[in-house]
Amino acid sequence: MKKNIKRILDKTPLITIAINSDRNIIYYNNFAKQKFLFLEEGRDINSVIRSTELNNFIEKAFSEKKDHRIEFQPSNFEDWSFIADLLFLPESNNPENELIIMLTDQTMLYSYEKMRTDFVANVSHELRTPLSSIVGYIETIKNDTNLDQSITNKFLDIMEDQAWRMTRLVEDLLLLSKYENEDKPLKFIETEIITIIQSAIDNLNKKIDDKKLKVNLEDNFSKKIISLNSDSIIQVFINIIDNAIKYSGESSEINIVLKEAMIDDNLYAQVQIKDQGEGISSEHLSRLTERFYRIDKNRSRNLGGTGLGLSIVKHIVNRHNGKLTIESELEKGSTFTIYLPILN
């Protein structure tokens, strides 16, 4: 390859690779090396980027001596996505019959589109299931005029439960949308954090009493007041304590400790919520804050979960520049810890 062409390609802000007619790599720029760590001159391009579509169009480009553009996902990097421009230089500048491959990385765009598609599919599924149930019971009641009143009442109770399930889902979707939208800043005010935690517990008193649980609240926080958006932070504590209630055995304890913590020379209010439930297997922990991620989908739905509660928690904590950690041990319980920065 001519030196003047190499100089131009070196400055190109795209992943750029050149190959000869034997499909061997003869040049790559820094962007290409950063993306594909195993790039070496002399290697077959297909050993670095495995893609039937790309390989077919490389063959076509060489045989036709024409430029081509394709979109592809390499089989050896399944989550990656590229637009490839296959460029043949004019013969006067290309005596050795070389092909330049310029890749536009679409991985993030592809990832966002996949997330959007998955989200729509999940919402559709979550709404379709209770709607189908309600429609089925309505048809049964309408078509069978001889139904016993006790059976009719049972069907109506089920329909009411399913309607409330959809209501909870829509409310959580609206909340998630609100806190995912970072264009509108949250309003922070000086707030006594222990009061917010106690209000969250009070909101859940009936559920606590129904399972005969004991909730212990320990306040070791000397600052007392920090700057928060109280409307959103109470939702964090409600969601996490509600989860602890759902997965705790009857007559067990939930322990909540408020104290100060120092992380990387920064002072935080640390709220630790620990239950004595069944615990969560380690392979699930990193995914618990994903939208609609459930360990046991049927059980979660039966307990009234929408699959969005911890995702809402994550976004609210992030909007406070805080941190959320989750630890768990099977048969022993889970510990959710929220860190909220104390601004001097």
Please tell me the predicted confidence (pLDDT) of residue 91. 62
User: What confidence tens digit (pLDDT) does each residue in 24-56 have?
Assistant: 999 999 999 988 888 899 999 999 999 999 999
- What one-character-per-residue DSSP string does 82-106 give? EEEEEEEPPGGG-TT--EEEEEEE-
Please tell me the predicted confidence (pLDDT) of residue 148. 86
Label residue 202 by pLDDT band (50, 70, 90): very high
Residue 262: other Cβ atoms inside 10 A: 9
User: What confidence tens digit (pLDDT) does each residue in 105-146 have?
Assistant: 888 776 777 666 766 777 777 778 778 888 888 888 888 878
Please state, in angstroms and rounded to a whole number, the distance separating the CA atoms of residues 234 and 242: 12
Instruction: Report residue 262 as tokens.
Output: 């120092």
| pLDDT over 70 (residue 186) | yes
Label residue 1 by pLDDT band (50, 70, 90): low
Q: Considering only CA atoms, which of 86, 1, 88 is closest in space to residue 41?
A: 1
**pTM of the entire predicted model:** 0.60
Kindly report the backbone phi and psi dihedral angles of residue 130, in degrees, each rounded to the nearest multiple of 5, phi listed first: -65, -35
| pLDDT over 60 (residue 344) | no
Helices of type H across 181-333: 193-203, 205-210, 230-246, 282-285, 297-302, 309-319
Bridge partners of residue 254, in order along the sequence: 215, 275
Supply the mean pLDDT for the chain: 86
Query: Do 39 and 46 contact (CB within 8 A), yes or no?
Result: no
Q: Which residue's entry shows tokens 């995702």?
A: 311
Query: Do 165 and 301 contact (CB within 8 A), yes or no?
Result: yes
Please tell me the predicted confidence (pLDDT) of residue 210. 92
| pLDDT over 60 (residue 301) | no
Q: What is the mean pLDDT of residues 90-110?
A: 78
Label residue 93 by pLDDT band (50, 70, 90): low
Instruction: Report residue 228 as tokens.
Output: 């928060």
Higher pLDDT, residue 128 or 333: 333
Q: Which residues contact 220 (CB under 8 A, 6 or more apart)?
A: 257, 258, 259, 260
Please tell me the predicted confidence (pLDDT) of residue 131. 86
Higher pLDDT, residue 38 or 236: 236
Q: Considering only CA atoms, which of 212, 193, 20 is closest in space to residue 99?
A: 20
Sketch out the chain's domains with CATH numbers: 3-105 (3.30.450.20), 110-183 (1.10.287.130), 185-344 (3.30.565.10)
Extended strands (E) in the chain: 15-19, 25-28, 68-72, 82-88, 99-105, 189-192, 214-220, 225-228, 253-263, 266-275, 323-329, 333-341
Q: Please tell me the total number of residues recorded for the chain in this structure.
A: 344
Instruction: Report residue 8 as tokens.
Output: 């131009």
| pLDDT over 60 (residue 278) | yes
Residue 251, Ramachandran bin (φ over 0: left; ψ between -120 and 50: alpha; else beta):
left
Instruction: Report residue 117 as tokens.
Output: 């598609």
Please tell me the predicted confidence (pLDDT) of residue 257. 96
Checking DSSP bridges between strand 253-263 and strand 214-220, what pairing results, if any? parallel
